[in-house]
Structure 1
Amino acid sequence: MSAPRYVSTRGHAPAVGLGAAIAAGLAPDGGLYVPERLPTLDPAAFDPHGDLPTTATTLLAPFFASDPLAAELPAICAEAFTFAAPLRPLARPDALLLELFHGPTAAFKDFGARFLAACLRRLRGGDAAPLTILVATSGDTGAAVGAAFHGQANLRVAILYPDGRVSPRQAHQLGSFGGNVQALRVAGSFDDCQRMVKAALNDAELQREVPLSSANSISLGRLLPQMSYYAHASLGWWRRHGTPLDFIVPTGNLGNALACVWARAIGLPIGEVRLACNANATLPEFFSGGDYRPRDAVPTLANAMDVGAPSNFERLRWSWRDDDALRQDLRAESVDDATIRATLLRHANDYDEVVCPHTATALAMFERERKSSGRAWAIVATAHPAKFETVLEPLLGRPIPVPPSLATMLARPAQATPVAAGDDMLKQWLGGRS
């Protein structure tokens, strides 16, 4: 079997191997790396008694075939996936919760960030020149990347986040690392942060001075491993019930949702996939038949999904090549802040279930879906509710217990550097640190 190759969504960059695609982050033409073709896997090929790292190793082996990282894949998966992603029933009919917040920073981003860090450490070796990892975050990505790369030799991290548009605990996490991980609070939106990162990655002169890569979901090293928990959950359901499992995924930048879609495309027993969005309506408008129209993000209670120009839409469109077919296969809906509040309150009072505002968008969409489908849905819980105490505690009238890993992080001092929302500002900051 020939080694898989990875190409740009924009079609103007040479095909490369997986290791090169992971190391680069962004393709030279500004596009995102995708497999030339997705592999096909038989659900029967997975160990029925395997844990999450075992499932991940089987799932990702075709993507890593013949790459220098292939022999290390089992070790990478074992190193990255040291915590569970349990699928548990909710106290209501036909609903399950896929809990993705049991990692060190209490958000689903821990899976991909730790996997990427394990790959880059092996790709670069101990004698490589310092590499700076850029990450734009709307709340959770930055902390996961900071935790995954903190203290690693020859790797530096710059976390850009929109000042005042993340929760206080998220902001504290982002600035709590120090050392080789620095936080920049940008006077703008997440989309400004994302644009600044892409501009730096596409600046060849800057790259010669300061070698750069990305740890956003534009990186295949983040995206591919996120398929693993969808594979593991759907396989467990399929073995018990003999039917595919449907998912509702809260989404902003589309990375987590795309991981679910790709897992289904390569043969995992996944049925319907729905995308729950907040008031940022770029995706719901497209899926309802409108043009794809990026716009400025608006702040909402589900702040990690405050994205007006989702990067992974390029990959999503590449996966179908035809917008009509894409619209037939997926659906996205907006959930406004009033509905988020009502959903949080109702589930806490009626079912004693406390979730984060992002998970609440998926629960609200589930309530609409179950009236017409009658199927079981897995609601994807993307972050621990304790990260959003300023939303939840006044609404529910009680404190939200903080998990130990998050409490440890919050106990550390935090510091972030203020930066204007301009491409040149990040380039100047990077140049001054070379």
Structure 2
Amino acid sequence: MTVALRYHSTRGSSPVATLSEAMAAGLAPDGGLYVPEHLPRLRVADFRQGETLAETATTLLAPFFAGDKLANELPAICAEALTFPTPLHALPQHPNTSVLELFHGPTAAFKDVGARFLAACLRRLRGDDARRLTILVATSGDTGAAVGAAFHRQPGINVVILYPDSRVSPRQAHQLGCFGGNVQALRVQGRFDDCQRMVKAALNDTALQTQSPLSSANSISLGRLLPQMSYYAHAALAWWHQYGEALNLIVPTGNLGNALAAVWVRQMELPIGLIHLACNANTTLPDFFNGNDYTPRQAVATLANAMDVGAPSNFERLRWTFPDPDDLRAQLHVESVDDRTIREVIARHAGEHGEVFCPHTATAVHVLDKLRATGDDLPWAIVATAHPAKFESVVEPLIGRAVDVPTSLAAMLQRPAEAEALDAEDDALREWLLPRADEGSALLPTV
């Protein structure tokens, strides 16, 4: 008999939940993040060589879904969500160096993987539930568009995207407001951390939840985090089969969800070696890993705007994974990269090698360049989190030419876009949501 894996809060004061309950809630009632009772262990032999990404995800996530009402649906969920490639390919100019491209989904960012998976799960969980569910998502640039695309026109679900006004790229802003119908974008007059705080406050508002069920599609949701593990496992397994050694990763990170996914795959004993994290000028994580106390602070605006996070939510899950601070610091190397360096990396690699990176990926490239300068010759994979065309106002002046726009992104840019302004206050979001709490109403006419 299969024993169901249960989930509890990082803060320890909420009832134990099933995976379906945890995904539906998003945030635990005590404000913590859901984590499994333990991380399962898998072997390379558990996976077939040459599997598709969806097949790898099915095997990888099966222990997390064991005993859950969605367990039998997992293969179909993976097949429905993971329909685009996440290729690992060599950089010809750089020996022993690869790029893991995560930007081939509908909105040209890695967030498409988790958003589409969560949408497939929630559609099945809702079944015939007549109540309209509202998905709240705070975004520093890429998450909101991925969630909007994944849930657009999905019956019975509204999506409300909060993003910091003037702190995302023009094309990101257009994506966030181009959906219409059941997807509404709100331009918050503040920082991403304000958006994230407002979403958490709404999710913890019992009275608001009673009037209109709310959930989250940020990386605080297990439905977003778990599928992001799949592309790391897929790449590491392919590397292992080809070379017989572990793959080392350099991951750009802000809210720590993408980085945590890589860490959990390694904790499951799959062949991932060293993990280095690249941050922008927001130094909350680098400061901690350099031996200082963990001290959240207000985010500062940078060229790598999707990583502009001063209080990364998934740090709670990272601490759950490694409760001892010294042990945690030993697990990862974390480095900060400023805007001047981001510009220099983008310009130099385009000029010398013809390689074009988005500002976020450029932070990882810089970490790699420093490693190679010291004589490091280990096999490293740079994680490319977004397509450079999403940041043309930054990239194109540095490389002296236009960046080709992926077909799916070009289609979104042809649509009209609209976003409503909102103060950066918890009560402002509450007051915006309350008049729309009528269970039968969509946000806007369907387009």
TM-score w.r.t. structure 1 length? Answer: 0.99
The DSSP-based 3-state class of the residue aligned with 2:150 is helix
- In the alignment, is the contact (CA less than 8 A) between 2:22 and 2:28 conserved in 1? yes
The DSSP-based 3-state class of the residue aligned with 1:247 is strand
Partner residue of 1:295?
Answer: 297
Q: How does 1:191-206 map to 2 (within 5 A)?
A: 191-206=193-208
Partner residue of 2:57?
Answer: 56
After the TM superposition, which segments of 4 or more aligned residues of structure 1 sit over 6 Å from their partners?
Answer: none
Q: Alignment partner for residue 411 of structure 2, among 408, 413, 418?
A: 408
Q: Alignment partner for residue 386 of structure 1, among 375, 386, 389?
A: 389
The DSSP-based 3-state class of the residue aligned with 2:80 is helix
Q: Alignment partner for residue 422 of structure 1, among 412, 420, 425?
A: 425
Partner residue of 2:248?
Answer: 246
Count of residues in Structure 1 that have an aligned counterpart in Structure 2:
434
Q: Measure, in 2, the Cα distance between the counterparts of 1:137 and 1:425.
A: 17
- In the alignment, is the contact (CA less than 8 A) between 1:3 and 1:67 conserved in 2? yes
Q: Measure, in 2, the Cα distance between the counterparts of 1:202 and 1:369.
A: 43
Answer yes or no: is 1:115 the counterpart of 2:117: yes
- In the alignment, is the contact (CA less than 8 A) between 2:284 and 2:295 conserved in 1? yes
Partner residue of 1:130?
Answer: 132
Q: How does 1:355-374 map to 2 (within 5 A)?
A: 355-370=357-372, 371-374=374-377
**Deviations for 1:29-74, whole angstroms, at most 9, x for unmatched residues?**
0000000100000111101121100000000000000101000000
Q: Measure, in 1, the Cα distance between the counterparts of 2:370 and 2:413.
A: 37
Q: Alignment partner for residue 317 of structure 2, among 298, 315, 318?
A: 315
Q: Measure, in 1, the Cα distance between the counterparts of 2:11 and 2:84.
A: 36
Q: CA deviation at 1:94?
A: 2.1
Answer yes or no: is 1:139 the counterpart of 2:141: yes
Q: Alignment partner for residue 258 of structure 1, among 253, 260, 285?
A: 260
Q: 1:240 to 1:361 in 2, by over 3 A?
A: same
Q: Measure, in 2, the Cα distance between the counterparts of 1:204 and 1:433.
A: 16
Partner residue of 2:155?
Answer: 153
Partner residue of 1:346?
Answer: 348
Partner residue of 1:82?
Answer: 83
Q: CA deviation at 1:362?
A: 0.1
Q: CA deviation at 1:432?
A: 1.4
Question: Letter of the aligned partner of 1:200 in structure 2?
Answer: A
Q: CA deviation at 1:395?
A: 1.4
Answer yes or no: is 1:397 the counterpart of 2:400: yes
Q: Alignment partner for residue 281 of structure 2, among 279, 287, 294?
A: 279
Q: Measure, in 2, the Cα distance between the counterparts of 1:283 and 1:107.
A: 22
Answer yes or no: is 1:28 the counterpart of 2:29: yes
- In the alignment, is the contact (CA less than 8 A) between 1:187 and 1:418 conserved in 2? yes
**Deviations for 1:267-319, whole angstroms, at most 9, x for unmatched residues?**
21000001100000000000000010000000000000000000000000110
Identity across matched positions, percent: 69
Answer yes or no: is 1:433 the counterpart of 2:436: yes
**Deviations for 1:149-174, whole angstroms, at most 9, x for unmatched residues?**
00001100000000000000000000
Question: Letter of the aligned partner of 2:177 in structure 1?
Answer: G
Q: CA RMSD in A?
A: 0.7
Q: CA deviation at 1:92?
A: 1.2
Answer yes or no: is 1:375 the counterpart of 2:372: no
Q: CA deviation at 1:181?
A: 0.3
TM-score w.r.t. structure 2 length? Answer: 0.96
Q: Measure, in 1, the Cα distance between the counterparts of 2:160 and 2:89.
A: 36
The DSSP-based 3-state class of the residue aligned with 1:286 is helix
Q: How does 1:162-181 map to 2 (within 5 A)?
A: 162-181=164-183
Please, which runs of 5 or more residues in structure 2 have no aligned partner? 438-447
- In the alignment, is the contact (CA less than 8 A) between 2:259 and 2:277 conserved in 1? yes
Please, which runs of 5 or more residues in structure 1 have no aligned partner? none
Partner residue of 1:183?
Answer: 185
Question: Letter of the aligned partner of 2:354 in structure 1?
Answer: D
Partner residue of 2:20?
Answer: 19
Q: CA deviation at 1:372?
A: 4.5
Partner residue of 1:218?
Answer: 220
Q: Measure, in 2, the Cα distance between the counterparts of 1:31 and 1:268.
A: 27
- In the alignment, is the contact (CA less than 8 A) between 1:191 and 1:297 conserved in 2? yes
